[in-house]
Every structure is written in structure tokens, then in C-alpha cells.
């Protein structure tokens, strides 16, 4: 048994009851040949990428099933002669699934050989050993890791001694 996906597009003006009856016929073809239906999805009416038989839209139907290769020939023959089907495609997906499974096993095998990455403990913030001079209005304890706001050295003002008189303004009156 092989696993297949069958996608077919039905004319958008087809009656829903006729479409459902045709899907039942397709399922009977598969099951009568010893196959099993795994998934059936009706995607509804969608716009086509390009016009097909003068239609710009179509009703999409997807079936996933397992069957023998001979069943596919009969199924495709029936899809070709059905007037309401405007396009169909059959894809064998078991080979793709096998490749994906093989890659997954190989990836898991390599991952098991690799040592786990070392986990470093989180770094603790360090506090300065000597508190810096804090500017007035600045927070007393800055956030860890934030630069401390310090006061710049202030130059002292030089003032004249009090005993000397201030120079008088020259100018005559």
C-alpha cells in the first residue's frame, strides 16, 4: 500500500449534492479496491491561478488515502471523464514522508552525540567599594549597571580681603 493525496477542482456552478455524491463515488472506488481514506477536506470555492475551461474559480477537494498503484489508474480515469471536474492531480506522499522520517532520525542521532551547551550562571551586579559623591537631586542608589552620577570638582571662588576698600569708580563730576 502507498499513501496518496488526490486534489481535484470542481466547477464552481456545480450543485453541492452532486459534488457530495461524486466524492462518495471516489471514496467507493478507493475502498472497493482495498484502500483506506485517511482524510477528506473540502476547501470550498477559491480563485484559480489562471482560467481553466473558461472558469476563474473552482471548488477544491482534497483526499488523502492509502491504496495500491492500480487503484490510481481507475481513479484518474473516472476523474477525466467526469464533466464537473476541471482539474486534478495525484501525488504519492509516502516517499516524501519516508525521507522526512529518515532526516529526522539522522538529526536526532546527531543531536544525541553533541554535548549539551554549557549554561553560564547569571552575572551578579557589582557594587563599587567606595560610594561616589552624589549630585543633589540625583537618586541616592542608582540602578545596578547604570553609571553613577558624580559631582565634578568645584573651584573655590577667590574673594578680595574685607580690609581693602573696593576700588572707586573714576569719573569726574
| pLDDT per residue rounded down to tens, the chain (173 residues) | 889 999 999 999 999 999 999 999 999 999 999 999 999 999 999 999 999 989 999 999 999 999 998 899 999 999 999 999 999 999 988 887 778 888 888 888 888 888 777 777 777 776 666 655 555 666 655 566 666 555 555 555 555 555 555 555 555 54
- Does a structural domain hold residue 142? no
164 occurs within a structural domain: no
The set of cell numbers assigned to 115 is 554535548
Give the rounded distance of the alpha carbon of 79 from its chain centre: 36
Residue 78 included in any domain: yes
Task: Write out the residue range of the structural domain in which residue 33 sits.
Answer: 2-98
Is 57 a member of any domain? yes
d(CA 46, CA 31): 28
Structure confidence at residue 97 (pLDDT): 77
With respect to residue 157, please indicate whether it lies within any of the assigned structural domains: no
36 found inside a domain = yes
Structure-block grid coordinates of residue 7: 486534489
| Domain presence at residue 160 | no
pTM for the predicted model, two decimal places: 0.56
Report how far residue 42's alpha carbon sits from residue 161's, in angstroms, rounded to the nearest whole number. Answer: 102
User: Quick check: is 115 in a domain?
Assistant: no
The CATH number covering residue 78 comes to: 3.30.70.60
pLDDT of residue 154: 56
The total number of structural domains that make up the chain: 1
pLDDT value at position 9? 94
Q: Where are the beta strands (DSSP E) in the chain?
A: 2-10, 36-52, 55-67, 85-92
Residue 13's pLDDT is 92
Amino acid at each position: 500500500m502507498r499513501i496518496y493525496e488526490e486534489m481535484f477542482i470542481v466547477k464552481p456552478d456545480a450543485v453541492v449534492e452532486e459534488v457530495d455524491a461524486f466524492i462518495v463515488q471516489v471514496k467507493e472506488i478507493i475502498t472497493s479496491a482495498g484502500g483506506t481514506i485517511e482524510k477528506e477536506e473540502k476547501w470550498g470555492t477559491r480563485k484559480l491561478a489562471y482560467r481553466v475551461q473558461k472558469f476563474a474559480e473552482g471548488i477544491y477537494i482534497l483526499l488523502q488515502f492509502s491504496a495500491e498503484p492500480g487503484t490510481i489508474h481507475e481513479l484518474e480515469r473516472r476523474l477525466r471523464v467526469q464533466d464537473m471536474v476541471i482539474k486534478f492531480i495525484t501525488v504519492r506522499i509516502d516517499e516524501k514522508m519516508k525521507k522526512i522520517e529518515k532526516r529526522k532520525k539522522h538529526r536526532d542521532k546527531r543531536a544525541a552525540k553533541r554535548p549539551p551547551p554549557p549554561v553560564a550562571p547569571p552575572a551578579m551586579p557589582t557594587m563599587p567599594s567606595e560610594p561616589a559623591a552624589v549630585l543633589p537631586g540625583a537618586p541616592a542608589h542608582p540602578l545596578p549597571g547604570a553609571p553613577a552620577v558624580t559631582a565634578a570638582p568645584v573651584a573655590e571662588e577667590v574673594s578680595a580681603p574685607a580690609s581693602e576698600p573696593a576700588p572707586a569708580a573714576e569719573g569726574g563730576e
